[in-house]
Amino acid sequence: MLHILKKVLYLGLAVLWLGCRSQDQQTVTPQNYDGPDQEGWNSRITVTSNGRTSAILQYSHMEKYSKRREVKFDGGIVVDFYNTAGQHTSNLVAERGVLYEDSNDVEAMENVVVVSDSGMTVRTQRLRWDNLRQKIVSDDFVTITTAQNDTLRGKGFQSDQSLKQWSIGRPSGVSQKRVDLIGGSENRGGATVADSSAVRHEKKQAPEQGVQQ
């Protein structure tokens, strides 16, 4: 009888130990968790500046990281940009993206294509929307196609959101017209291959920013 009681006691202790171990393995320490704390599907985010809509981002899948102050998107994104008068100026598509909540900047990655309402197209693999300066910026290789189907390639690009005032670094390409790289304007005159770059600097006060979902 005593022998049987000992076996029952040992068995009970073993079950209790296994249960405690299983509970320990399932416990997640919140302060060490670095994953997303919010997810969303097939919705959109509105980015504002000085109380007006500056961009509307549509996404397939979203993950929000509150500690990092970042919102990551995958499965494809579409961003529409608007000027200070509320008029649509350009459209961006990409495979992935990140919204940085502290600045409201949007970074687009993989097969990025920006098309202005005037017909100009920019292609690259990485591009950033600077919400403070209202600028589109890329440090990667870019290909620009104008509304007249002239093509320029280079590394480094900066433009206003309407793609009317732009600059490109280390540009090269063939055009039916002469291209003024400082302002992005075009003049009649034949093909051109440039080996310099021009960057326009502007000073602006920081606008009030916000994000609406």
Q: Can you give the three-state secondary structure of 116-136, one letter per residue?
A: ECCCCEEEEEEEEEECCCCEE
| pLDDT tens by residue, 81-92 | 999 899 999 999
Determine the length of the chain: 213
Q: Which amino acid is at 158?
A: Q
Per the CATH hierarchy, to which homologous superfamily does domain 35-201 belong? Lipopolysaccharide (LPS) transport protein A like domain (2.60.450.10)
The model carries a pTM of 0.70
- Residue 166 in this model has a pLDDT that exceeds 80: yes
Give the residue from 191, 198, 144 showing the smallest Cα distance to 169: 198
- Residue 22 in this model has a pLDDT that exceeds 90: no
| Contact between 192 and 175 (Cβ < 8 Å) | yes
For the chain, percent of residues with pLDDT exceeding 70: 67
Hey, what are 130's tokens? 């600077």
